[in-house]
Amino acid sequence: MDSLRNKTGFICDMDGVLYHGYRLLPGVKEFVDWLYREGKHFMFLTNASGRSPKELSQKLQRMGLEVDENHFYTSALATAKFVAAQSPGCSAYVIGEPGLFNALYDAGITINEINPDYVIIGETNNYNYEKICTATNLVLRGARLIGTNSDITGPIEDGIIPACRALVAPVELATGKNAYFVGKPNPLMMRSCLRLLGVHSDESVIIGDRMDTDIISGIESGLDTVLVLSGVTSKADVDNFPYRPRLIIDSVADIPR
């Protein structure tokens, strides 16, 4: 545990690590206080694309935790950065929530429902057959298909909901085209976080509750890896994967102790 506490950079997943739904997990406030007190470089990372960093900061504030918006990074921001680097000044047909639209606008990507360069899909509550049909035909006419992340499901307080990959799947099946997914476990997202933090992967750790996104993305990016059992993964689940985190702890509350 001492080697973990000596790390300079901390990249932390959010749901299942910091909170469940709108309930802050025990010990999280003490963990965040420790990050600030020790002068750690830290980023709260989420594959969810619907909210902006400011909205995520306000969500934590409503739970009683003050964290500046500069400490948040989303798959929407990573997607916008990737697409803008690939094709500066391009246009896109977008299925998603305001957080995704805002990130794309800020990166200079315009919305186009006629002949876009890309079709970009993130999580949304406004998913319907008409949008699937539009996206399908735009991809068939040459638009490249992008998903903000490859999560199939996401947690809610009383179960699960279909997440980004489940929403992209009908377009992939109808067109025969595979989407490119930008969020975790794509190392692109991790490298962007490290650059924003100004730290090297050897000096950093990722803390998450999922083996298939958080832990594998840390391994593939050269970060130290810590699995917390406060989310969706149990100790028994770890044996189902061909790789392991370096540390398994109950929650982030264990780190400052």
- In tens, the pLDDT along 20-53 reads 888 999 999 999 999 999 999 999 999 999 999 9
27-36 residue pLDDT tens: 999 999 999 9
Q: Where are the domains of the chain?
A: 2-47+184-254, 76-181
Q: Which CATH number fits domain 76-181: 3.30.450.20, 3.40.50.2300, 3.40.50.1000, 3.80.10.10?
A: 3.40.50.1000
Helix axes 129-140, 164-175, angle to 10 degrees: 50
Residue 254 designated active-site: no
Residue 15 designated active-site: yes
Would you say residue 164 has pLDDT above 80?
yes
Based on DSSP, count helices (H) and strands (E) in the chain, helices before strands: 10, 15
**Catalytic residue among 2, 13, 151, 239, which?**
13
pLDDT tier for residue 158 given thresholds of 50, 70 and 90 = confident
Q: Same fold for the domain at 2-47+184-254 and the one at 76-181?
A: yes
The C-alpha angle 4, 7, 12, rounded to 5 degrees, equals: 80
pLDDT of residue 154: 79
DSSP conformation class of 14: -
Taking all residues of the chain, what is their mean pLDDT, rounded to a whole number?
95
Which pTM does this prediction carry?
Answer: 0.93
**Catalytic residue among 15, 117, 209, 224, which?**
15
CATH architecture of 2-47+184-254: 3-Layer(aba) Sandwich (3.40)
pLDDT of residue 257: 80
Task: Give mean pLDDT, residues 105-133.
Answer: 97
